[in-house]
A and B are shown apart, each in its own frame.
Chain A
Amino acid sequence: EAQVTQNPRYLITVTGKKLTVTCSQNMNHEYMSWYRQDPGLGLRQIYYSMNVEVTDKGDVPEGYKVSRKEKRNFPLILESPSPNQTSLYFCASKINRVATEAFFGQGTRLTVV
């Protein structure tokens, strides 16, 4: 089954404790991205990757890092989480940069206390 898988689904952590949210897709997609969803703001892109070893900032990249060492994986790294990063995070992928349809993961609800 074609899918985008995120882990964990729920995470509560403390300020400053490094964490990684994993994202994996099995569709051989080139383009992957991370969004955060906050009430009243919709989804905003954090980082995106057009292919292996090619990543770039989205609209709200501050406080986040990403890596793309393999095509299928696109982890989101919070080196020193803060409470304002409490949010619902979605990973998405699509075939390539010009493709129009994106596939979303199930979401990761992160709480930073």
Chain B
Amino acid sequence: AQSVSQHNHHVILSEAASLELGCNYSYGGTVNLFWYVQYPGQHLQLLLKYFSGDPLVKGIKGFEAEFIKSKFSFNLRKPSVQWSDTAEYFCAVLMDTGRRALTFGSGTRLQVQP
């Protein structure tokens, strides 16, 4: 079955540290890739997305992600995190299967300490 794996469940960083969150998926067909952020008590917001073209995509709030097709990965990065980045981050994959539903990873809780 298709799946999405986020290996970091809880990450604690100090402000100004660099961030990289891993995301791997298992599906051999065409995919669209997303990172969503969920701030405490809020709904999911789209950070960035990859459809095609340049595998390095830039999103809002200084985040970027790189699609490496050979590794089935779509890791999220930010050079310097801020306290306001404290949130839960979800990787999601849209596969070209029948119901075209987003498949989500289990999420990574990021805690940034001032």
Contact = CB atoms under 8 A, between A and B. Distances in A.
A57 B87 CA distance: 30
Contact of A42 (B42, B51, B100, B107): B107
A97 B94 CA distance: 11
Interface in B31-81: 32, 42-44, 46, 49, 51
A42 B105 contact: yes
Nearest to B44: A104
A97 B100 contact: yes
Interface of B, secondary structure class, is loop
B7 interface: no
A74 interface: no
B43 A102 contact: no
B33 to A, nearest CB: 10
Indicate the size class of the contact surface on chain B: 20 to 34
Given A42-B90, A42-B107, A107-B43, A100 B32 contact: yes
Contact of B106 (A41, A92, A102): A41
Indicate the size class of the contact surface on chain A: 20 to 34
Contact of A44 (B44, B100, B104): B104
B102 interface: yes
Interface of A: 31, 33, 35, 40-45, 48, 50, 56, 58-59, 90, 92, 97-98, 100-102, 104-107
25 contacts: A31-B100, A35-B104, A40-B9, A40-B106, A40-B107, A42-B105, A43-B44, A43-B90, A45-B101, A48-B101, A58-B101, A59-B101, A90-B44, A92-B102, A97-B100, A98-B100, A100-B32, A100-B49, A100-B51, A100-B94, A101-B49, A104-B44, A105-B43, A106-B43, A107-B42
Interface of B: 4, 6, 9, 32, 42-44, 46, 49, 51, 90, 92, 94, 99-102, 104-107
Given A40-B106, A92-B102, A106-B43, 6 more contacts: A42-B4, A42-B107, A90-B43, A97-B99, A98-B100, A102-B102
